Structure 1
């Protein structure tokens, strides 16, 4: 990604085919994406003001009717009105209980002591796991939405795992994870415990443990320890670096800077001038939590 011009606004990271890309929204021109490759140089500046991208639903985007601006450092690029509309018909917010699609229940591992149970529409495959930055994971079951939701709640309580883990905690441990065999073993052990529980809904099919690892997709081998993370953009602020890896919404640069692409959404981005360096606001990456990753859960994921 070198930036774009002519009214194309960033919509954040997209995961497809196991690879990251940056999405763009052009007024009256639909959407497109720019594929990302590890090792490439990224250099862009923010242009103008940050605007709400509207609501994405059923494979179609509805533009923000008022074209509202949004705060430069807000984690979401949606204005309050579009966010309310988004949540009014949302599986995550339990406002779309009638969704007829089949769902899958999964077990996702993000780091030592950081495991969660969640659900995703079967048609999305592993995309949800990539979006959340799950390093290692396995399916647990499949079935109707409400059966999947009840199973999720049963397993969370019985296994003592959350349904949400803050991105900041995932980010802090990503560069120093145990080897693949160890993390796969932790997922397999929890899967076996889950399979042995009573009370699963009869309409939910249990799935055998097949552990998948995303270390390759995320470029985690040799990933630099994150030191600073983007705190927001300002008009004219530049972000420059070489892409070392990506996980969830995060772009990891070779110099230890992490770009949370949720903060890019809503901005028009243009190529940075020659010789530009990162001068966008950065903040220190919080160190890993003592005694594991389950303390202080926050945020949607």
Structure 2
């Protein structure tokens, strides 16, 4: 079983104590987001977990806890974008986050720290030329600390559309997308970094850019030395090439409050959920009660 920690929130940034408690306990409980009284018990012991995949914008709080992961295969999907606090209000200064990226790569190896530059969105302020300058600067800083950069372009969701509209943010269009991919691919190649896309339908073979898998069965097999066959995750978007995983996070619990985020869209709910956080609870930002129906999650 592959554990995703998590597409729904930033566990390394805000809930590192919780994930370590869950690893020590050997399991986590996860509410079904569409049926909250349905709770899955997910095994987290090393024998049950093929790989832990961490998604984060700032894993500073995990750096002193990596020793607890010594019996696990794991890697990080680490997002660094060039936006300011008008778009990503809860993040530290990007220069400090880049230093955290380097420290993490030094400790666990650059193959296990994947840089995400996504979503790519544009406005009068964040135009294509802005992205060219920002990406070139980041590539120079991250050269030698990662093998891969994953890119994707803004997807619209009803829950985030008003926030985007207020800042004039939109998805790049045809020629803009191709110009970005062409420029990024050239700069990354010069730095020994390959570019892959995430859940994009367009083909960019002419620029040497392939469709990627964020939950990547091939990478997991390389890291583990095994040759296990993994199935495509049927619950993700059609263009997504990730293999099956079990997510142990909870929606509306991320304090980064990025305005483009589909998983954390209600400030009131985020504040309420964070107020319930208990690192000892088996459910993130929640507690079990008598009305919950707990079932064991199989693989």
Q: If the length of structure 1 is used for normalisation, what is the TM-score?
A: 0.31
Compare the two structures and name the one with the higher strand fraction: 1
